[in-house]
A = this chain, B = another copy of it.
Amino acid sequence: MKDKLYIIKIGGNLIDDEQLLDGFLEQFSEINEKKILVHGGGKLATTLADKLGVEQKMINGRRITNKDTLDIVAMVYAGSINKNIVAKLQQKKCRAIGFSGADANLIKARKREHAEIDFGFVGDIEKKSVNRKLISKLIKLKLVPVFSAITHDKKGNLFNTNADTIASVIAQALSAKYDVELLYCFDKKGVLEDVGNPESVIKNISEEKFSTLKNEGKLHKGILPKLENALGAIKNNVNKVFLIKETELKNHIENHHAGTEICL
């Protein structure tokens, strides 16, 4: 039987709220099974870019990462946020070790190619991008990897990569060795049938259900890529995938079901 491994993704709203983050990290540190944390960015990068007068260009809701923006996200994600999370987890006796994808070539990306748009320093990744052997060895040393959403191309360039995608792809790569449960933590109790009703959690979403909800226009654009990454994971041998509220982590792990489960 494979060992259980939790891969848990947290996002901006949690990172921007010190108290909420601390409560989450407390719950995370209490998980007894093997675990990996993946974190997104939060408002800090945008705030810093504003202060430095670096203009943020977005196309279709995607950040265009020019060199100045890359410098900022590398500093903020891999420096400030990652090291602060690691220090806080260490305080809670969790053996956290922080990484970008460049470290030990853990996640090798290629520059996003697009017919019309140059996204700049944005890296795309897939299952084989992940150095799963080394991650497994680090886990074996009882370490808890904490990934920021920075990757590299092994040609000396750092890249900005979507944190939801990083979590999904790491989960896929490690499913050969572990019984992986991937948890996307966010500020809702799950995917909502009715955005206006926080209790209208959809219990299960399959690929078919996803298509229906999408065609009915029931999924707001923030949740779409998250669900695509979640479905990508479940289709690639990740054992379980859930979207849960960030304050419900402990409850989910103890009671085996909170939020929305993604299924085949």
Residues of A at under 8 Å CB distance from B?
51-52, 71, 74-80, 82-84, 86-88, 90-91, 95-100, 102-105, 134, 137, 141, 143, 150, 152, 154-158
Chain B residues with CB below 8 A from A152, complex form: 83, 86-87, 90
Given the complex of chains A and B, what is the CA–CA distance between A101 and B149 in angstroms? 20
Asked whether A97 lies within 8 Å of B104 as measured between CB atoms, the reply is yes
Given the complex of chains A and B, what is the CA–CA distance between A152 and B75 in angstroms? 18
Chain B residues with CB below 8 A from A97, complex form: 99, 103-104
Asked whether A78 lies within 8 Å of B83 as measured between CB atoms, the reply is yes
What is the chain B residue whose CB lies nearest that of A77? Answer: B79
Chain B residues with CB below 8 A from A51, complex form: 51-52
Please give the distance in Å from A140's CB to the nearest CB on chain B: 10
Given the complex of chains A and B, what is the CA–CA distance between A91 and B143 in angstroms? 26
Please give the distance in Å from A151's CB to the nearest CB on chain B: 10
Q: Known A51-B52, A75-B75; judge A141-B134 contact (CB<8 A).
A: yes
In the complex, the count of this chain's copies comes to: 2
**Residue from the list B75, B76, B95 in contact with A105, Cβ < 8 A:** B95
**Residue from the list B74, B87, B99, B143 in contact with A79, Cβ < 8 A:** B74
Top 7 A-B pairs, shortest CB-CB distance: A79-B79, A75-B75, A91-B156, A75-B79, A97-B104, A87-B102, A87-B152
Given the complex of chains A and B, what is the CA–CA distance between A104 and B79 in angstroms? 15
Please give the distance in Å from A152's CB to the nearest CB on chain B: 4
Given the complex of chains A and B, what is the CA–CA distance between A141 and B131 in angstroms? 13
Given the complex of chains A and B, what is the CA–CA distance between A75 and B88 in angstroms? 16
Q: Known A78-B83, A158-B84; judge A98-B95 contact (CB<8 A).
A: no
Given the complex of chains A and B, what is the CA–CA distance between A152 and B156 in angstroms? 28
Asked whether A90 lies within 8 Å of B102 as measured between CB atoms, the reply is yes
What is the chain B residue whose CB lies nearest that of A151? Answer: B87
Given the complex of chains A and B, what is the CA–CA distance between A96 and B99 in angstroms? 12
